[in-house]
Amino acid sequence: MSQLEERLKSGQFTVTGEIGPPKGTNVAPCLHEAEEFLKGRVVAVNVTDIQTAVMRTGSMAMCHMLRDRGIEPIFQMVCRDRNRLALQSDLLSAAVLGIENVLSLTGDHVVMGDHRDARPVYDLDSVGLLQAMSGLEAGRDMGCDFKGNPNQLDGVPKFFKGCCTTPCSPDPEAQVIKLEKKAAAGAQFVQTQAVYDPATFEKFMRRIEHIKIPVLVGIVVLKSAGMAKYMNRSVPGVQVPDALIKELTAAPKDGLKKVSAAIAARLVREMKPMCQGAHLMTLGWDDLVPDIIAQAGLAS
């Protein structure tokens, strides 16, 4: 059982972090940040998988290197770039490398990224990928032999299966329905997209009380008022309140990181009673994680 699974099952409030692999082979800075600021402070660390369709070093390799350094990884998998053969093969490869936590994502379309001529796959969506994981755990893959019999595996993996939801979506009922499907497909934990409105989050959590899966509220650290305004314009399901934008606008340039950490910690404190954990997405400002955790009252 992974530390993440054990911690969530114990009912303890759980904090996870996130890193993005580099666009190139220089992984040393990324690994240093994880060791310096995340290790021993968060339970597990997400590794993004070609996030926003921008080509980067792969999630699985970075997960393996984190694990070698005593940091538990969460292997993000998007369905955009691989068909069911490759997805299942990568899942088995991850299991062989000792990677247990897997976050199932459909993935941003290639038009968002730096290879707009690439052909998206989307053979499976996030629900289909969760079903594939559950099948592998049961000892079979999604194929069959020439007689139509299910393919059986020689050795089976064990995953702790995660998914995402968007609590501040303009259509929360659709998010509830999607989450119900993900739970039925085998999801065991949820990390949300960025949330900045505790009241809206509380309403969403009431809507999903019947879905008995631990939820980690997502907090993307706001680096500037401009970033907050951009998210409001361009990121579906994310809404940064005007009060936070004003707070960031008023922050002195040399004190912006301090204000950003204080906002993130405050949001965690306010939403802690509503959920089972927090997922901190610092976008390269990993040095803020110790301060956020301390200000949120979560330091051990």
Boundaries of every domain in the chain: 3-295
Q: What is the pLDDT of residues 21-73, one digit of tens each?
A: 999 999 999 999 999 999 999 999 999 999 999 999 999 999 999 999 999 99
Q: What is the pLDDT of residues 84-133, one digit of tens each?
A: 999 999 999 999 999 999 999 999 999 999 999 999 999 999 999 999 99
- Over 70: is that where the pLDDT of 281 sits? yes
Q: What is the pLDDT of residues 231-240, one digit of tens each?
A: 999 998 999 9
Domain 3-295 has CATH 3.40.710.10: no
**Cα separation of 127 and 45, whole Å?**
22
Q: How confident is residue 300, by pLDDT bands cut at 50, 70 and 90?
A: low
What is this structure's pTM? 0.96
Segment 136-144 shows an average pLDDT of: 96
Segment 186-205 shows an average pLDDT of: 98
Q: How confident is residue 262, by pLDDT bands cut at 50, 70 and 90?
A: very high
